[in-house]
Chain A
Amino acid sequence: MEKFTKLSATAAPMPLVNIDTDMIIPKVFLKTIKRSGLGVNLFDEMRYDRQGNEIEDFVLNQPQYRDAQILVAGDNFGCGSSREHAPWALLDFGIRCVISTSFADIFYNNCFKNGILPIVVTPEEHAKLMDDAERGANAVISVDLEGQTITGPDGGQISFEVDAHKKHCLLNGLDDIGLTMEKAASIDSFEATAAQSRPWV
C-alpha cells in the first residue's frame, strides 16, 4: 500500500449527500478479478452519457478538476455496498483524500486499506472547504496526516481526528495482515480456548 503523509492538491466539490457506492463505481465494473484499471469508470453514470461521451457539467470532467486528488463530498459518502472497488476506483483516478461530514462505515475502513485518507469534519468546516473547492485549481488544499491538519488556500487551518492504528498504517504504508500475523500466538491461544468452551463452532 502506498504511504500517505502529506498532500497538496486541487479539491473537487461534490456537495450531493448520500453518494453511494453504486454511484462511485456501478456494478457492471465489478466483474473484474483485478484491483487496477477502475479509474476510468469512477462515477461512470454521472460522468458519461450512454454513448460514452463525457458529460460536461460533471465536476471531474471540468478542466480545473481533472487532476483533483481530493474530494470534498456531501454527508454519508460511500453508503451502500461493501465493494472495495469504490476506493480502488478513486485511487486509480488519483483521489487520495475524501473530506465529508460523515462516511459509511465499511467504505471508511476500505479507504485506509488502500492508501486513501477519509477525513470527517464539522458542518461549518465542511462549508468552508466546499467554498474553497469551488474556487477550482487556484484553491489548493493541503492535508498533513502526521499533524492531522487541513490547510485551506487562504492559510486557515482545521484539525481532524483519526484512529491511531489506522494513522500509523497509512503513514507507513503497512500491510495489516503482516501485522496481525505477528500476533499469531494470541490467535492460537484463543482458538484453543474456544475449542473447549464452544466446540460446536
Chain B
Amino acid sequence: MSPKTLYDKIWDAHVAHEAEDGTCLLYIDRHLVHEVTSPQAFEGLRMTGRKVRAPEKTIAVPDHNVPTTLDRANAETMTEDSRIQVAALDKNAKDFGIHYYPVSDVRQGIVHIVGPEQGWTLPGMTVVCGDSHTATHGAFGALAHGIGTSEVEHVLATQTLIQKKSKNMKVEITGKLRPGVTAKDITLSVIGETGTAGGTGYVIEYCGEAIRDLSMEGRMTVCNMAIEGGARAGLIAPDETTFEYCKGRPHAPKGAQWEAAMEWWKTLYSDDDAQWDKVITIKGEDIAPVVTWGTSPEDVLPITAAVPSPDSFEGGKVDAAQRSIDYMGLQAGQKLTDIEIDTVFIGSCTNGRIEDLRAAAEILKGKKVAVKRAMVVPGSGLVRAQAEEEGLADIFKEAGFEWRMAGCSMCLAMNPDQLAEGERCASTSNRNFEGRQGYKGRTHLVSPAMAAAAAVTGKLTDVRELM
C-alpha cells in the first residue's frame, strides 16, 4: 500500500461516491449548527419538502448572537433580529429533531467548544459547520472545516458534501517552547510565516515535539486558526493526550465500542514516507510571545518588535500595510510595548477554554486591571462552572474583570459586546479585521496570558516580564 498522510486516511474512509473527474461525495459524521448561518438552509428544506437525513449526527447550539450578561434569561436583553434568529434555531431544532443545547442549558456555549466537550468530536471523523472556525476540531485528528449556508443545506439533506481533495501541507514545530510562549503564539507565528493565503488549497497537519507537548486545549487553539492561514483544515494526529480527553465524555463510545474505536484511532497518523506538497518547519525555541499590529492575522510580530514601515512590504501589501497602520492609529517605528490598551477581551473559540482562563488568572492573581474595561467570556457554561469551582472566577472578579455567560461575544461582536469607535482592544480572539469587534474598533490579537498582562499594565506587554 502506498504511504498516506493522516488527511489521506480520513478522506479515504469517508468517500461515499467518486465521479470520474475526482469530484467526491464526502460523508459527514458530525454536522454542527448555529443560529446565524442555518436559517436559510432549514428554510430551503421546508420549501423542497426535504428532511434532515441524519438528525442523530446533527448538533445545534446558539452562540453568535446570544447576550453574555447575567440577566440574559430575560429575552429583552436581545435585539429583535437576534431574538428572531435564536427563536428560529429553537424551532428548527425541534421540528427537524436534532440535538440541541438552548441558551438556558448549562452545556450551551460556543459550538466549537461544546462539540469536543460533549464528546461529539472524535478522532478520524469528518466534522462540518457553517462557521470557518470549525477547523478547531482538527485537534482531534478529525477532518473539520467551515462551509457556507448552501452547503449546510446540502449536508442536512444528504449527510454528504461535494468535495475535491486538497493538497497536503506539513507544519512542524520542533523542540520545546520557551516560557511564556503558548499555542496561540505558535498558530499566529505560523500565519506570520505563510501569510493569510499561504494555506489556500491545503489541509495542514501540525506536528513536531512542541505540538505533541500541547494539551487538547492548546491543540484546539492551533487548529482553530488554520483557516486564518487560508487552509481548508488543520489536523493533529490523535495520541494518548487525545484519547485521555475523549474518554468518558457523554457522546464518546463506551466499553467494547471504545476498544474498537481505539484500534482504528491508533492507525490515524501520517506514514513516515508520506508525500507532502509543502513543508514548513519552525523551531519551537524561535517562537516568542506575539501580537498583531495590523488588520490581518498575518500582521504579526514578537512583542519586542516595533510597528513596521509600509515600505518594508512588497506589491499590494504596501498599500494594505499603510491602510492598516492608519486604521489602527499607529506610527511606523512605534514600539509595540508602547501601545496603550482600552479594553481586554478573553474568550472565543480560539481561547475560551479552561486552560486559557487558568493562564490568564495566573498572571492576574492579586493584581488589578489598568484598562477601561476587561471582560472574560467563558467558551461554555461548563467551562464557566469549572472556572468558578477552581477559584478562577474570583481572581478575575477581584482583578476587575467582568465575569460573563458563555457565547461568541466580542470575538465578532454580533451581540451587544462591541468596541466603540477608536477603542483599542487586546483580544484572545482570532480576527483583527477592520470593524470585526465593532465599527472602527481596533484589535490586537494575543494569547490569554498576554491579554492578562496588557490588562494589568494598560499597555501591550511582554508577559515574560510579569512571570
> Hey, which bits of chain A sit against chain B, CB under 8 A?
15-18, 20, 22-23, 26-28, 30-35, 45, 50, 74-76, 79-84, 87, 102-106, 109-110, 113-114, 163-165, 176-177, 180-181, 183-184, 186-187, 189-191, 194, 198-201
Contact = CB atoms under 8 A, between A and B. Distances in A.
Contacts of B230: 76, 79, 104-105
B148 A165 contact: no
Given A16-B320, A23-B433, A31 B79 contact: yes
A15 B316 contact: yes
A200 B148 contact: no
Contact of B88 (A20, A33, A103, A186): A33
B201 to A, nearest CB: 7
A180 B155 CA distance: 10
Interface size class of B (residues with CB under 8 A): 35 or more
B16 A110 contact: no
Contact of B164 (A18, A50, A82, A163): A163
A76 B57 CA distance: 33
B21 A82 contact: no
Contact of B151 (A20, A45, A109): A109
Interface stretch (B33-41, B355-363, B451-459): B33-41
Nearest to B20: A164
Interface in B235-282: 252-253, 257-258, 260-261, 264
Given A76-B230, A79-B196, A200-B252, 11 more contacts: A16-B323, A74-B316, A84-B149, A102-B200, A105-B230, A105-B232, A177-B157, A187-B16, A198-B264, A199-B257, A199-B260
> Top 6 closest A-B pairs, CB basis?
A200-B253, A113-B150, A190-B16, A110-B148, A33-B39, A31-B81
Nearest to A180: B158
B260 A102 contact: no
A27 B264 CA distance: 41
B413 A27 contact: yes
Interface stretch (B285-293, B396-404, B434-442): B434-442
A40 B231 CA distance: 31
B151 A201 contact: no
A77 to B, nearest CB: 10
Contacts of A45: 434-435, 439
A165 B150 contact: no
A17 B317 contact: yes
B419 interface: no
Contacts of B317: 17
Nearest to B413: A27
A201 B196 contact: no
A190 B27 contact: yes
Interface in B80-100: 81-82, 84-85, 88
Nearest to A26: B435
Interface in B1-58: 13, 16-17, 19, 21, 23, 25, 27, 29, 36-37, 39-40, 43, 48, 50, 53, 57
A34 B40 CA distance: 6
Nearest to A50: B439
A155 to B, nearest CB: 27
Interface stretch (B124-132, B330-338, B341-349, B373-381): B124-132
Contacts of A184: 158
A54 B164 CA distance: 41
Interface string B361-397: 0000000000000000000000000000000000000
A104 B146 CA distance: 12
Given A33-B84, A45-B434, A109-B151, A83 B37 contact: yes
A32 B81 contact: yes
A113 B88 CA distance: 23
Given A18-B320, A191-B27, A176 B164 contact: no
Nearest to B82: A31
A114 B25 CA distance: 20
B169 to A, nearest CB: 13
A84 B317 CA distance: 26
B154 A31 contact: no
Contacts of B65: 31
A103 B200 CA distance: 8
A65 to B, nearest CB: 19
Most buried by B among A33, A176, A191: A33
Contact of B433 (A80, A105, A180): A80
A15 B322 CA distance: 14
A105 B25 CA distance: 18
Interface string B152-174: 01100111101010000000000
A185 B40 CA distance: 27
A72 B27 CA distance: 36
B159 A201 contact: no
A31 to B, nearest CB: 4
Most buried by A among B132, B153, B320: B132
Contacts of B260: 199-200
B435 A187 contact: no
B27 A187 contact: yes
A37 B236 CA distance: 41
